Structure 1
Amino acid sequence: MTKGPKARRGHARTALVDAARARFQEVGFAKATTLEIATRAEVSETLIFRYFGSKTGLFVEAVLTPMAAFVEDLVRSWDAGTLPGESSIQETIGRYIDDLSAALPDRSALARAGVEAVVTHGDSPEIAVFRTRLASLFDELAVDMGAYLGEHGLRDADPHLIVRIGFLAVGAVAALLPLTYPDGHEPPTQREVKAELTDFILFGLQSRRA
């Protein structure tokens, strides 16, 4: 392992997380190397393995853990009744989309890197822990979602599936929508995307199965 400049005590971990997030945003998960990240953070590469165990562990800390924390905040807000208190179902769905968007990585390339890491390294111990945590949060959210669907006369649907589909729909749009437009074409704004997603979800929850 290579050595880099010595960082201030307590600074190295934060510097590595920040550098890793930036590098994963630039080149994705697979192409980013621990040496590049350590050099960017101006610390020794060995500290990555001391603090995080592996590049995958660093990715979980830099990208996936903040995402899970946002989902946890969303669960708490539903538990507190703040979302069901909106003035209309459409506004509630819009707020839900906003909160899911906040939970996802803030750049499309970083969102794609997250998909890449989870798909290709989903059985690694670090990502397995993250997946277990996320699944538990979705199951908590589904309890409130089920109650909300019933209270507002919406379609009798599996709330566990609904919360996951909603998360994946928002995530897929964040990660992949820009790739569906040709170079030089301005993709739709976040406001336009939210409006279409809101109507899409609202129609699905109101319509009855044949």
Structure 2
Amino acid sequence: MTTARRGPRVRRGSAPGLLRDAAREVFAERGYRATTREIAERAGVSHELIFRYFESKEKLLFDAVVTPLLDAVEGLQKSWVADNSLHSLSTEDLAYRFTEQLYNFLSQNQSISRAMVHLFTEGSTEGEVEHLRVRIADTLASMLTPVEQYLSNAGMRNTAPALQLRMMMLLIGVTANFLTGTYRDDDEVPDRAEIIEELAHFVYNGLRNA
């Protein structure tokens, strides 16, 4: 059951942002079966505003959940290409940098990740998952050539770069979102630095040639 935001009338122009925030929360909790009325109630705005600003529930999903995630992935790639200092780092240090940046984004935006999990595990009836798969595949395809070239030049394992890229991202994403829940209580959970260090070793050693 969702909880409406309480307080004074929302400020003019703030409705789109409130709806995106609410959509991330509600989709993370209930998946795509969540209704637009639940999202509007959580945002504390009129239901018709969803269709004024986003036209449909699917477009709201993509604007609130899918696009921010893929924009973050593309942003990481572009920052790496533009950062000349990365050329001086060892392969192990690069693995750490990649792991740290992706882990930080996903752990700080868990509602986005959890909404994606709902989509993939529950499916949909109107083709939303198929549209999602196309968007993800297109984003990763743009990363594939530089990843493949780097692995080859560094003498790393590059037998299946498209698969390797996906597995690295999934390993980091699952850890960022679900590791805490595997411990009896929060006091037992390792700190962020230790988690990233171990993850980076998994990524690096998984790409090394035997």
Q: TM-score, with normalisation over the residues of structure 1? A: 0.80
Matches of 2:18 and 2:46, distance apart in 1? 11
Distance in 1 (alpha carbons) for counterparts of 2:31 and 2:54: 15
Q: Which residue of 1 aligns with 2:5?
A: none
Correspondence for 1:167: 169
Pairwise CA distance, 1:179: 2.1
1:1-210 to structure 2, matched below 5 A, reads 9-24=12-27, 27-29=29-31, 32-80=34-82, 82=84, 84-104=86-106, 106-108=108-110, 110-121=112-123, 124-183=126-185, 185-208=187-210
Given that 2:20 and 2:60 are in contact with CA atoms closer than 8 Å, whether structure 1 keeps it comes out as yes
**3-state SS of paired residue (1:113):** helix
Q: CA deviation at 1:106?
A: 2.2
Q: Distance in 2 between matches of 1:122 and 1:165?
A: 24
TM-score computed with the length of structure 2 as normaliser: 0.80
Contact 1:19 1:38 (8 Å CA) reproduced: yes
| Whole-angstrom CA distance in 1 between matches of 2:203 and 2:91 | 11
Tell me how many residue pairs correspond in the alignment: 203
Distance 1:50 1:29 in 2: 22
User: Identity percentage over the alignment?
Assistant: 36
SS in 1 for 2:188: coil
> Does the 8 Å CA contact 1:111/1:174 hold for their aligned counterparts?
no
Return the offset for 1:110.
4.8
How far, CA to CA, are the matches of 1:199 and 1:43 in structure 2?
46
1:98-136 CA distance string (max 9 Å, x none) = 232245362545522321123323674444333322211
CA separation in 1, counterparts of 2:116 and 2:136? 14
Q: CA deviation at 1:29?
A: 2.5
Distance 1:183 1:102, change over 3 A: closer
Tell me if the contact between 2:37 and 2:47 (Cα under 8 Å) persists in the aligned partners. Answer: yes
Structure 1 segments of 4+ aligned residues over 6 angstroms from their partners: none
The Cα of 1:195 is off from its aligned counterpart by: 0.8
Which secondary structure does the structure 1 equivalent of 2:167 belong to?
helix
1:70–1:102 Cα contact (<8 Å) kept: no
Q: 1:170 to 1:86 in 2, by over 3 A?
A: farther
- Of the structure 1 ranges 94-103 and 164-173, higher mean CA displacement relative to structure 2 is found in 94-103
Please provide the CA RMSD for this pair: 2.8
Tell me, in whole angstroms, the C-alpha distance in 2 between the residues paired with 1:135 and 1:83: 29
Structure 2 unaligned blocks of 5 or more: 1-7
Cα deviation for residue 47 of structure 1 reads: 2.1
Q: Which amino acid aligns with 1:20?
A: A
Partners of 1:50 and 1:105 lie apart in 2 by: 32
